[in-house]
């Protein structure tokens, strides 16, 4: 097991399987690492992770930021700066306590420029609360912009999920370039394959070695995941004999998460 604290972001192109891997790694943590204080962050404005985890959220960071923009929180003459009040309401209204972990969702606001602002707000909040958790799992926005906006600056490990498409590999290569260009201090960058065909898996492993990535493992096709999704059930309900969950355990070991 890696030294704690351990902050990790799950990245990749859209549809590669970031949210699924985040849920699987959380499931592994909940079963094999009982002493951790875990925060799961949905940093994707699509906000799919709460449903995948079976967690009800009332507000996102974007919701609270939008309320402030519209003047819903008018607390004049109290002596607090607006930024401190914003942080207070996010901590109060957006962090959901679930069984074994907390969840914070970024969401999105309205209007031009709101997304960048919400990204900055979330980054600032993370800087304040990381000290309260031993593990933070971040399900990132698809693509590259979260790196340019330096939302990943609080993490020490990045896992990039790739699928059978060439585009997913090109996205991973570009991510590595941007990490270097913006000066993010990332200790480890891993590749995880999602539902790769056997021959494709061999090719991706070779590509990872050639591009100086560490290959952490592959999540196989698993009918249990499809059945849970079809019935609107959270992935945390996966049975212990799930092939995907067994693979996630190996990946968690390979990246020193457990």
For residues 50 and 42, what is the distance between their CA atoms, to the nearest angstrom?
A: 8
For position 73, what pLDDT does the model report?
A: 54
- Asked if the model's pLDDT at residue 48 lies above 50, the reply is yes
Domains of the chain by residue range? 6-254
CB 23 within 8 A of CB 235: yes
Q: Tens digits of per-residue pLDDT, 9-21? A: 999 998 889 999 9
Q: What pLDDT shows up at residue 146?
A: 59
Q: What distance in Å separates the CA atoms of residue 50 and residue 245, rounded to the nearest whole number?
A: 19
Find tokens 């693979």 and name the residue. 247
* Higher local confidence (pLDDT), 252 or 70: 252
pLDDT value of position 142 = 80
What is residue 246's predicted lDDT score, i.e. its pLDDT? 96
Work out the average pLDDT over 55-78. Answer: 74
Supply the pLDDT for residue 104: 94
Summarize the confidence of residues 185-214 as an average pLDDT: 94
CA angle 30, 139, 146 (to 5 degrees): 150
Is there a contact between 28 and 248 (Cβ–Cβ < 8 Å)?
A: yes
Look at residue 196 and tell me whether its pLDDT is greater than 90.
yes
Q: What is the pTM of this model?
A: 0.89
pLDDT tens digits, 82-115: 667 777 888 889 999 999 999 999 887 555 445 5
Show Cβ contacts of residue 146 under 8 Å, excluding neighbours closer than 6 positions.
Answer: 9, 11, 43, 119, 140, 152
Please report where in the chains the tokens 């059930």 appear, as a residue. Answer: 233
User: pLDDT at position 76, please?
Assistant: 47
Q: Report the pLDDT value the prediction gives residue 22, as an integer from 0 to 100.
A: 97
Phi then psi dihedrals of residue 160, to 5 deg: -105, 120
Tell me what the pLDDT averaged over the chain comes to.
Answer: 86
| 12 close to 161: Cβ distance less than 8 angstroms | yes
SS3 per residue for the chain: CCCCCEEEEEEECCCCCHHHHHHHHHHHHHHHCCCCCEEEEECCCCCCHHHHHCCCCCCCHHHHHHHHHCCCCCCCCCCCCHHHHHHHHHHHHCCEECCCCEEEECCCCCCCCHHHHHHHHHHHHHHHHHHHCCEEEEECCCCCHHHHCCHHHHCCEEEEEECCCHHHHHHHHHHHHHHHHHCCCCCEEEEEEECCCHHHHHHHHHHHHHCCCEEEEEECCCHHHHHHHHCCCCHHHCCCCCHHHHHHHHHHHHCCCC
Q: Cβ(95)–Cβ(104) under 8 Å?
A: yes
Decide if pLDDT at 147 tops 70. no
CATH of 6-254, picked from 3.40.50.150, 3.40.630.70, 3.40.50.300, 3.40.50.620, is 3.40.50.300
pLDDT for 78: 45
Distances (CA, A) of 180 to 77, 124, 150, 175, 250: 45, 22, 12, 9, 28
Would you state the pLDDT for residue 198? 85
User: Is-contact 96 90, C-beta < 8 A?
Assistant: no
The model's pLDDT over 24-45, given as tens digits with 9 standing for 90+, comes to 999 999 999 878 999 999 988 8
Q: Residue 79: pLDDT above 50?
A: no
């Amino acid at each position: 097991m890696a030294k704690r604290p351990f902050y990790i972001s799950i990245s990749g192109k859209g549809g590669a399987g970031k949210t699924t891997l985040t849920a699987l790694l959380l499931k592994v943590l909940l079963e094999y690492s009982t002493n951790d204080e875990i925060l799961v962050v949905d940093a994707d404005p699509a906000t799919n992770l709460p449903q995948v985890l079976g967690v009800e959220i009332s507000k996102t960071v974007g919701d609270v930021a939008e309320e402030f923009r519209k003047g819903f929180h008018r607390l004049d003459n109290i002596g607090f700066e607006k930024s401190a009040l914003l942080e207070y309401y996010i901590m109060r209204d957006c962090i959901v306590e679930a069984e074994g972990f907390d969840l914070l969702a970024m969401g999105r606001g309205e209007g031009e420029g709101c997304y960048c602002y919400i990204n900055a707000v979330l980054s600032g909040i993370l800087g304040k609360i990381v000290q309260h958790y031993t593990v933070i799992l971040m399900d990132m926005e698809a693509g590259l912009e979260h790196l340019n906006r330096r939302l990943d600056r609080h993490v020490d490990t990045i896992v990039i999920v790739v699928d059978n498409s060439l585009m997913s590999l090109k996205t991973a290569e570009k991510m590595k370039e941007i990490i270097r260009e913006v000066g993010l201090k990332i200790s480890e960058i891993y590749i995880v394959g999602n539902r790769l065909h056997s021959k494709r898996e061999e090719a991706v492993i070779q590509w990872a070695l050639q591009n100086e990535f560490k290959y952490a493992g592959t999540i196989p096709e698993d009918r249990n995941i499809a059945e849970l999704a079809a019935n609107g059930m959270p992935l945390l309900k996966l049975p212990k004999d799930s092939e995907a969950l067994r693979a996630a355990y190996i990946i968690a070991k390979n990246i020193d998460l457990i």
